[in-house]
Structure 1
Amino acid sequence: MTQSDDRDTAAERDPTRPAAVLIVGAGFAGLGTAIRLRQAGITDIVILERGREVGGTWRDNTYPGAACDVPSLLYSFSFAQNSDWSHTYSGSAEILDYIHGLVDRFQLGSQIQFDTEVSSLVWNAEEGTWTAHTRCGHTVTARAAVMAAGPLSNASLPDMPGRDTYTGTTIHSARWDHTFDPTGQRIGVIGTGASGVQIIPQLVDQAAQVKVFQRTPGWVIPRLDRQRSEASKTLFRAAPSLQNLARQAWFWAHEVFALGVVWTSLATTVLERLAGAYRRRQVHDSWLRRQLTPDYRAGCKRILVSSDYYPALQRDNCKLITWPIATLSPRGIRTADGIEHELDAIVFATGFDVCKTSAPFPVHGVDGASLDDAWAEGAHAYRSVTTAGFPNLFLTFGPNSGPGHNSALVYMESQIAHITEAIRVIVEDDLRALEVRRDREQDHNRWLARRLARTTWNSGCHSWYLTADGRNTTMYPGFATQFAKHTAPVDLADYQIQQRSVSSLGVQPDLGGRL
């Protein structure tokens, strides 16, 4: 494939030959990767999206009150900043508009195939290609594949006893039914995580009664949201350097925050005391305050950011239930104390099925090896991006790439930089396969395990970060600056390299070291 061939768009390219790059998912990660690849001169890209529009998490999460708990200046790409955010923390609709704007601004529309769900991904060692099989019966082949489906793409509906017997309305936060009118209804909310604390205040404003079923209280800090003035928007448009300076200020403030939530330290104690003071000021009843006080260190679970959750719980039409749920019944929820709570609707704010021990769809690499089998004891990768046995395959939001303190998009950009550089090598040097060495991946994951053992996440609480046997395959144990340093460079000494034309002696060309 020549360099000029790689500049074809999906609409113009010959469908009978492999594309340069196949990307699965048209959310932030997939679109960001496509943008950076195009800027690197690789435009022969096919993006497969199972939905009918772009957006991923922000397309799916449209529940009342849906918003980001990271400042908008950080929850956007550094290479595609937006000066017109309406608030410090933007709602889901505005974030989705930003994502649509990326498609228009970087002319990605012709490269996206919608309503195309990947059912499997298979490596062809002889050709050096990946083939995506789709549920509609089509196949797409490419020299490199990027799995950008995202960790928050599949809603998690808990397998509770009696769930199928309930006769009222059920709604998951990530699949909100906008025909549902909460006015005057008795509503139960299961889950008090990041989605729950946003939904509950909205429902309390409209419903006759809201019962909140809490399994574990969270550490809550205020959400200092402000509407941005037109003058500030105009200033950022006229002086992008000032916007970048503001972004950097937010970034470093969040980096400092890591000292309190990634590791248990004096900063953790300070954070807990500040959160405790906020709780005492907001929650007037001592018994309710006790029910809302966590028994684990701050940071072990995700910190919740809300200024209206505590006030909503104290409204006359809202009640916090801390007894465990025994079963769902035809009329509502029965708790372990024997009380049946009659409800017209139940909202499941129960998060997502995050793939910690399997891939989002079957992936078969060298000699037909299954990625699910390779990850049976927990997902793992080299620098969160590549894994041995699966050449030319790259992950966004891969294992141990989650931030506990900073913007996910900051981490994502580091991964995208690594992916872009690796794919550029594959295309420009005409490689059949670029596969991370197993020993390098194992060394990297042993290093991660040592660091993770010292983090707050492994301090004893139960969270979605951990596998069933307690392994943390989700979070990165360090600062965003460290993640960028460890992730972005591509060192070819870490990889096994196969060129398309290999000499009879099997000698590989010297392609240099770190790029």
Structure 2
Amino acid sequence: MAAKTASSAKEHKARTGEGEEVADGRPIETGVVIIGSGFSGLGMGIALKKDGRDDFVILEKAGDVGGTWRDNTYPGAACDVPTHLYSYSFEPRSNWERLWSYQPEIFNYLKEVSEKYGLGPHLRFHQVAQRGYWDDEEMRWHLWTADGQEYVAQFVVSAIGALHIPSIPEIDGIESFGGQVFHSAQWDHSVDLTGKKVAVIGTGASAIQFVPEIVDEVGQLQLYQRTPAWVLPRENVDIPPAVRRVLARVPGVRRVFRSSLYWGAEAGAYALNNRPALLKAVALLGKAHIRRQIDDKELRAKLTPDYRPGCKRLLGSNTYYRALNLAKSEVITDSIAGATAGGLVTADGRERPADVIIYGTGFHVTDSFESLSIKGKDGADLVGRFREEGPMAHRGITVADMPNAFFLLGPNTGLGHTSIVFMIESQIHYVRDAIRLVNQRGADAIMPRAEVQAAYNEDVQRRLANSVWNTGGCQSWYLDEHGNNRTLWPGYTWRYWLSTRRVRPQEFEFLARNGAGDPNARQRGVAAVGA
């Protein structure tokens, strides 16, 4: 077992956050280890607290809660789902200042929720979970962090999400570039962009937001675009104080408002999943938006996608195209061949001088699982399996041969049309039910049957086959290296909610310390082959 390197338990507590002090060199034993403190991790911790459990820790790689809403502080960072929907159902707010809230407001919300529900003593900051294994005899997980601290737990909940590892493109010669370089998720606020030549690489959701914010400040904007995005008109309106008061004081109004947002978003799932041809109207709206805001026909052509709307995430902005319509802005569609000390060189051999390079290139998504190397029952290698077969889980939460391991926002639970927080809460409910079931049956562990998981994923891929993400004519981060969509849920979220209302025992194996299939285990209500 790895020993801690801190010189004292007091120093360890100061480094890892509030909570129990432990002696140097000893593993920390607990009931549940939660990895990550974004919406998923905090929500899971709150659910355990509501169940009367205090035997859990939340490992957080950074120095505060918040996940992606802590890390992404770039100018203009905001939610692209109405915040009244993009928030916990058990902790609604009436005082959201805007319909689509900016990063500081959501970050503060998560910090306030964490404090309200007393999660402080369970948080362990600056703890980067790196590897772990399941002990078949102990029926326990052993996890290690980057600093060598070991955690031993019956249950592990991965709440690391997918949008936390920046994707940095490989550019020949970038190390020779003489200016500043950073990713939008690691925004360097010490860099003054005033009057500088700024090269932005990428045209995804982040760039759509920060480009309009910096364009007036910079001397020249170079936008390197591989594939244009569908950007629809959208005004981020303020919610007037009078409306906020009504939402807070009039019974039922806030619930009706949230419900209307939910069902309005759900309506979009039909076209995305079942009738992509209906998205032609969206294409007409997007093209009209370009015509209204872009004067030059050649530039319009560059910014008009040649794939079906929805194939990549639909974006909204009333300021993005205006920023690109300025004389100081240039949209470059030639691929980047390399970098020099003074700028970037494109495939046509042209070098454009730059003072600052900003990556707006998104995150590792389908391979984000590689950040945590874990081995399950009989040494099953999760990372190796996912690399070979693609990420797959039962209901996106549990994985065969990984006892007592739960993955929030796991494979095929992402969304392209509504709030991911809805999916998170559905999954948390499912995890709670699974843990209760283990305890009720006197078992030590639960894991899905391999054949059940395989059948579930075959059905998911079948339902995705005719969706816009599989037929829309684009290459998106929704697809893995095998060309399979391992990211998105195929359909309405209320159907996912129904499927996670309870754990079906017949879909799982229940294990006990005295061995799978042991007659004594069966007498205790535990069977290796399920109920």
TM-score, normalised with respect to structure 1: 0.94
> Is structure 2 residue 55 aligned with structure 1 residue 44?
yes
Distance change (3 Å), C-alpha of 1:10 and 1:299: same
Pairing 1:274-353 to 2, within 5 Å after superposition: 274-353=285-364
Q: Could you tell me which residue of structure 2 aligns to residue 383 of structure 1?
A: 395
Q: Is the 8 A contact 1:127 1:432 kept in 2?
A: no
Q: Which amino acid aligns with 1:468?
A: E
Q: Which amino acid aligns with 2:326?
A: R
Distance change (3 Å), C-alpha of 1:423 and 1:335: same
Query: Root-mean-square deviation (CA), in Å?
Result: 2.2
Q: Is the 8 A contact 2:201 2:360 kept in 1?
A: yes
Deviations 1:373-414 (A, max 9, x none): 221221000000000000000001100011010111111111
Pairing 1:146-185 to 2, within 5 Å after superposition: 146-185=157-196
Q: Is the 8 A contact 1:331 1:342 kept in 2?
A: yes
| Alpha-carbon separation, structure 2, partners of 1:375 and 1:125 | 21
Q: Could you tell me which residue of structure 1 aligns to residue 152 of structure 2?
A: 141
- Return the offset for 1:514: 12
| Alpha-carbon separation, structure 1, partners of 2:530 and 2:303 | 50
Distance change (3 Å), C-alpha of 1:334 and 1:13: closer
Q: Could you tell me which residue of structure 2 aligns to residue 434 of structure 1?
A: 446
Which consecutive residues of structure 1, in runs of 5 or more, have no partner in the other structure?
1-8
Pairing 1:59-458 to 2, within 5 Å after superposition: 59-239=70-250, 241-356=252-367, 358-376=369-387, 377-458=389-470
> Is structure 2 residue 46 aligned with structure 1 residue 31?
no
Q: Is the 8 A contact 1:259 1:267 kept in 2?
A: no
Q: Is the 8 A contact 2:37 2:60 kept in 1?
A: yes
Most deviating of 49-58 and 161-170: 161-170
Residue 403 of structure 1 aligns to a residue in which SS?
coil
Which consecutive residues of structure 2, in runs of 5 or more, have no partner in the other structure?
1-17
Deviations 1:125-176 (A, max 9, x none): 2121112111111111111000011101111111122222212110110001
Q: Could you tell me which residue of structure 2 aligns to residue 473 of structure 1?
A: 486
Q: Could you tell me which residue of structure 2 aligns to residue 507 of structure 1?
A: 522
| Alpha-carbon separation, structure 2, partners of 1:112 and 1:427 | 25
TM-score, normalised with respect to structure 2: 0.91
| Alpha-carbon separation, structure 2, partners of 1:84 and 1:488 | 30
| Alpha-carbon separation, structure 2, partners of 1:248 and 1:183 | 44
Distance change (3 Å), C-alpha of 1:240 and 1:325: farther
Q: Is the 8 A contact 2:412 2:486 kept in 1?
A: yes
Q: Which amino acid aligns with 1:481?
A: W
Distance change (3 Å), C-alpha of 1:83 and 1:465: same
Residue 212 of structure 2 aligns to a residue in which SS?
helix
- Return the offset for 1:428: 4.3
| Alpha-carbon separation, structure 1, partners of 2:104 and 2:530 | 41
User: Number of residue pairs matched?
Assistant: 507
Q: Could you tell me which residue of structure 1 aligns to residue 508 of structure 2?
A: 495
- Return the offset for 1:41: 2.4
| Alpha-carbon separation, structure 2, partners of 1:168 and 1:357 | 29
Deviations 1:315-349 (A, max 9, x none): 12111111121212221111122211000000000
Q: Is the 8 A contact 2:294 2:325 kept in 1?
A: yes
